[in-house]
Structure 1
Amino acid sequence: MSAELVSPTDVELRWTAGDPAAAGHVLEFATEPQGRYTILAFLPEDQTAYTHPDLIPNTTFFYRLRPYYGHASAPVEVTLGSGPYPEPEPDWSRPRTIPGGPRGGLPAGTEAAAPADLKATVTQADGVAFGWTDRAADEEGHLLENRPAGRPDYRVVAALDPDVNAVGLITLPEERQASYRVRAFRYGPHSNVVHRTTGGG
């Protein structure tokens, strides 16, 4: 991976295509050489460039890229309507483990460990509650992905902790009709670390 300062506060990152077996890759950054890395974006496997814009002036940013692996569930289609809506469960939007939804026993990354029985319930004019069966034993998290009508690709809309098997989502206007799926994933090794220091504001 390489990094170039294309303006005083914009960094352009480039890399070569990675493992075609990966589901995608995650771009991370930190502001100290050994600092805690923060996820900047989940990206499709074939994307090879990203611009990190409008950064803090006079600050060094460190970047690395990691592939992630895992198979997605079967998709569900969601169309938001005008109601009436069922009474939502308390904390319906909070990521959680549904009681009676035990952790799976399969290795994350295998096709058999893909989440199963994904269900979507419209809870309000712009809200959807999701639940699924977690079949993976060692996932590093789950990714909820969607593809609004008219868009060719899925994107990550929520990154969740291991063992979570229920979450709610407040949708955007363009997501009133969309396909959703969920993925149990594990990370691969990270790339080389690159850094650039921004200029004055």
Structure 2
Amino acid sequence: MLSVTRVSPVDAELSWHGKAPGAAGRIVEFATEPGGPWTILTYAPLTQTTYRHPDLIPKTHFSYRVRPYYGPASRAVDVTLPKGSFTKAEQRQEHRWAPPRAIRRAGVRTSPVRRASATPTDLRATVMHANGIRFTWTDHAEGERGYLLEDRPRGGGSFRPVAVLDPDINSFGLITLPNEKRASYRVRPFTYGERSNIARMTTGERPAGRG
């Protein structure tokens, strides 16, 4: 069950409850038109039950919904990057290794995305430079809505999605953030579960002094 509270004229607070056995997490979505399109705000861990959507467009109708997502995660790989910032020379590089790709591999068995046998295998992380990593893996999923690349910075608590990829992708390059010099990574094919009820609210006038 999802509810939304207007905590200021242009800020919304969402809260939800309910079970989702076997889910990896929940997505939170919003729309400003009755029929969509819907935009994903966040991929929330199962332990999260609230979300604040701040600084909204004044005098606008907003609709919200949540739904679980499912899919098995690969084993994690640990990556330690060399010291150094993302230099101007690196920024000028073409990074041809970075765009998402679906590399065909013969003889790979696939399974429906929610089965354990759909777990990605052979995840490898290749350091391309001080702020770039190329990931490759074997895709065993069928019927997935996409892939999530998840990371957990060294010393961090839980994994979080850092990239959302199309179905069948098994090669992707990540340009990292400063706190990702040492981190663990994994990939997950995913599909969605049932949608929640839709919660609606209308924003008011923007308060003086806020943009």
Which category describes the TM-score, using the shorter chain as reference length? over 0.9
Q: Give the direction of change, closer, same or farther, for the CA distance of 1:124–1:174 in structure 2 (3 Å limit).
A: same
Q: Residue in 1 aligned with 2:8?
A: 7
Q: Following the alignment from structure 2 to structure 1, what is the Cα–Cα distance between the partners of residues 155 and 65?
A: 32
Residues 1-201 of structure 1 mapped to structure 2, 5 A cutoff: 1-82=2-83, 91-100=96-105, 104-201=109-206
What CA deviation, in whole Å up to 9, does each residue of 1:20-66 have, x standing for no partner?
31100101111011111011100001110000011111111111101
> What is the total number of aligned residue pairs between the two structures?
198
Query: 2:88 aligns to what?
Result: none
Aligned equivalents of 2:18, 2:166: Cα separation in 1:
27
Off by >6 Å, runs of 4+ in structure 1: none
Distance change (3 Å), C-alpha of 1:101 and 1:36: farther
SS of the residue 1:112 aligns to = helix
TM-score by length of 1: 0.93
Given the two structures, how large is their TM-score scaled by the length of structure 2?
0.89
Kept in 2, the 8 Å contact 1:73–1:118? The answer is yes
Separation in structure 2 between the aligned mates of residue 18 and residue 182 of structure 1, nearest angstrom: 24
Gapped regions of structure 2 (runs ≥ 5): 85-92, 207-211
CA-based RMSD = 2.0
- Partners of 2:40 and 2:108 in 1: CA distance: 25
Distance 1:171 1:102, change over 3 A: farther
Aligned counterparts of 1:118 and 1:177: Cα–Cα separation in 2: 17
* 2:151–2:161 contact (8 Å) kept in structure 1: yes
Larger radius of gyration: 2
